[in-house]
Structure 1
Amino acid sequence: MDIHVHTDGGIDAALDLAHWIAADPGVPPEASPVPAAPAPGSMSATTDVLQFAVGNAIALGALLVSVAQWRQSRPVRPTVRLTAVRPDGASVTVESDDPATLAAAVRELGGT
């Protein structure tokens, strides 16, 4: 499953979030970052979108929790939107840092 994480905080927020996730011991290797695809008509990747390949529901849940914790730790909380795209093309977008909402998103995507 592909996870796209977009933040309205620009490249600085995206880089900070990428470092946060990389340093989070709770995020397993099954939630690995992958290079983001270039925007249509662009020759380089979008800088404010992080993309992850997630191998299972546990990794997905850990990634969502890490993103929510990062957002809650910011003095000014940027908007973060996560879009999960399953191999069958179905997608779910979450814009929340509420643990119950994140758990519901994991269930919606076929997790436990």
Structure 2
Amino acid sequence: MDLGLDRDRRLTAPPYDDPKLVGWYRHGASPGEQGTAVAVGHLDTESGPAVFAGLPELKRGRIVKARRADGRIARPRSTRSSRTRRRTSPARRCTAPGAVPSCA
């Protein structure tokens, strides 16, 4: 799912009622491309754990698998993870250059 910035320049998120959906910042790199790929999803919802429920255990440098829209599996290396409130977002990180394929 392609995601962008809202009118207040905050990164949007996948719908709250689809807790297993992950979105990617559309103006950044796609997973597996050179640069910073930003994955956005939910940790939990009222119905229980969501797609990023295991995010606190993700270690820097770990290879993660990401299924791209074209069906290919990208294997970027995690460089950092962060949690933000739904109405705030690290939009500055969405355009950070990177020398190797990575996910922020």
Q: TM-score, normalised by structure 1?
A: 0.29
Normalized per residue, the structure richer in helix is: 1
Q: TM-score, normalised by structure 2?
A: 0.31
